[in-house]
A and B are shown apart, each in its own frame.
Chain A
Amino acid sequence: MNRKEFIEKLSFLLQDISDEERHEALDFYENYFDEAGIENEQKVILELKSPERVAAIIKDGLKGQFEERIYAGNQGFSNDDYEMNYEITEPKNQEKKENKIFDRWKQMDSQDRLILVIIGIVLCIPITFSIFGIVGGVFGIGFSFVIAILCVIFGLWIVTFIFHLLAVILMIVGGITLFIHPGAGLIYLGAGCILIGLGTIFGKLATWFFKDCIPHVVDTVSNALHKIFHSRSV
């Protein structure tokens, strides 16, 4: 506690006496601090003990009760009542309880606040990581889904290409073999035809994927999104 806080507290505690008496008392103690000098500020506060005690003595002085309690002895003058816990506590109102956390924050100095903020950040790290994890996971699933679709389409095109290539090779081989071993040649030609057929089927499948399936999925998704986000405004 410094001088300013001491005087402010004393002023607060003396609210229930007349303005004149309060000013007189505060002037006296302001004067007292001035005379003691800034180097003795803490010493004076230590000797005065507490604003509560000083306020109690001032008020008893006004009532003429103070003098009755003074004792003189070899230790000098003392006033036992004020050596004990003679304190006036601040009235506690309900409002203060409600703002307890906020008040505590206000009462902290900047160093304590910094520590609290750091603790908060450290505590938030696992949460932050798990949020990143979830977002990353969702993104990963989406990404692999797209890749899978692309693979299927390209795979179909590749299979189609290979089947057609093999069919052409088999046809040529079959054509040549037909003159040497007619049976084997026919089998080769037959296999080539089957491969052309299969290749065509895969090709159609890939085309269907490109032309019908994906646009349909995209349409459905965009329609759904459109309904979700714009249904109310329409």
Chain B
Amino acid sequence: MIFNTGAALLDAVVLSVVSREKEGTYGYKITQDVQQVISVSESTLYPVLRRLLKDECLKSYDREFQGRNRRYYQITASGLAQLNMYKQEWYEYTLRINKLFDGGYHDE
């Protein structure tokens, strides 16, 4: 069973994962964290992160780690606003769907 939700939900999940780290987090860890919640192909995350950077929902910076550069992703103010909007949408959407599934037939 598959629902077509477009990219919005994956954006929301990624933004949520990144927002949990105040100092920012890096590509591999984001993928691992997202995969703990939902199964998502490793190659799917790159285009999502790239677009979120372009839309300025995320910002990135490089920091040295064990003699090499590690790219960190950090949520921006507009990213946070976007995430809150997604959350709100999700709550309302799932609430209505759940209501229909669980009690919709008995109401009225």
Chain A residues within 8 Å of B, Cβ to Cβ:
24-25, 27-29, 31-32, 34-36, 44, 47-49, 53-54, 57-58, 60-62, 64, 66-68, 70-79, 82
Contacts and interface: CB of A to CB of B under 8 A. Distances in A.
B29 A35 contact: yes
8 contacts: A24-B50, A28-B46, A35-B27, A66-B7, A70-B7, A70-B10, A71-B2, A72-B2
A213 B31 CA distance: 101
Given A31-B70, A79-B44, A73 B3 contact: yes
Contacts of B27: 28, 31-32, 35
B50 A61 contact: yes
A57 B44 contact: yes
A44 B38 CA distance: 17
Given A28-B27, A70-B10, A77-B39, 15 more contacts: A27-B71, A31-B26, A35-B29, A44-B42, A53-B43, A58-B47, A61-B47, A61-B50, A67-B7, A67-B48, A68-B6, A70-B6, A70-B7, A71-B5, A77-B38
B96 interface: no
B71 A54 contact: no
B92 to A, nearest CB: 17
A75 B7 CA distance: 16
Which of A44, A60, A62, A66 counts the most chain B CB atoms within 10 A?
A: A66
Interface string B31-72: 100000011111110111111000000000000000011110
* 3 closest A-B pairs by CB: A61-B47, A67-B7, A35-B28
